[in-house]
Amino acid sequence: MQLVASLGRLIAPASVLDLGCGLGYSTLWLASIVQPGGRVIGIDDDPVHISEATSIARELGYADRVEYRCGRVTDVLGTIDQPVDMIHDDAWFAATPAHLDAMVGLIRPGGLLTMVNWFLLVDAITGSPRNDWESFAGEDWAAATTRYAQELAARSDLHVTWLESPPIAFATRR
């Protein structure tokens, strides 16, 4: 998240979405780079995560900049009608997420998309998985991850860069 925040700072974002915010670790990193008067919306479909994340943000003094919404990413994105400066996506694993088009469509031109979980692509390429990804994402995990990467690379509305270490990807919206 330190690298994600550094990348985000370059565009001085005022509006950020954190997809798959969990307990809000990533959300609070993003809140630390949002411009004065700006906002980060964390989205997760686990109500316990959302409840705890809300308490943590309040306790740590981030309530003015952070809002949490509970639901599937695809559904919650459908309720957001203004383009945003930055989206951080941690709500996918191996396969192309159902929210891909909605997510990209919400990023303003020149805006930033950051994505974690690309250790899966590193492991698919090296053939040496660092964990039993099959139990998390099925036996097709390596092919599914590779397909998702190829799909992102082929998009004409994104310019995507992958890093091996740390294994994240970031993209600017064309």
| C-beta of 43 vs 106, nearer to ligand SAM | 43
Structure-token pair, residue 33: 């780079």
**DSSP letters for 2-66:** HHHHHHHHTT--SEEEEES-TTSHHHHHHHTTSPTT-EEEEEES-HHHHHHHHHHHHHTT-TTTE
CA distance 160 to 164: 13
| C-beta of 110 vs 138, nearer to ligand SAM | 138
> At its nearest, how many Å lie between ligand SAM and the CB of residue 174?
25
Strand duo 107-115 + 169-173: pairing: antiparallel
> At its nearest, how many Å lie between ligand SAM and the CB of residue 25?
3
> At its nearest, how many Å lie between ligand SAM and the CB of residue 57?
13
- Eight-state DSSP code of residue 156: T
| C-beta of 90 vs 123, nearer to ligand SAM | 90
> At its nearest, how many Å lie between ligand SAM and the CB of residue 147?
18
| C-beta of 25 vs 110, nearer to ligand SAM | 25
For tokens 């995507």, the residue is: 160
| C-beta of 23 vs 168, nearer to ligand SAM | 23
Q: Write out the residues near ligand SAM by the rule CB under 6 A.
A: 20-23, 25-26, 43-46, 49, 72-73, 90-91
> At its nearest, how many Å lie between ligand SAM and the CB of residue 73?
4
Cα–Cα–Cα angle for 153, 158, 161, nearest 5°?
55
Structure-token pair, residue 101: 């088009």
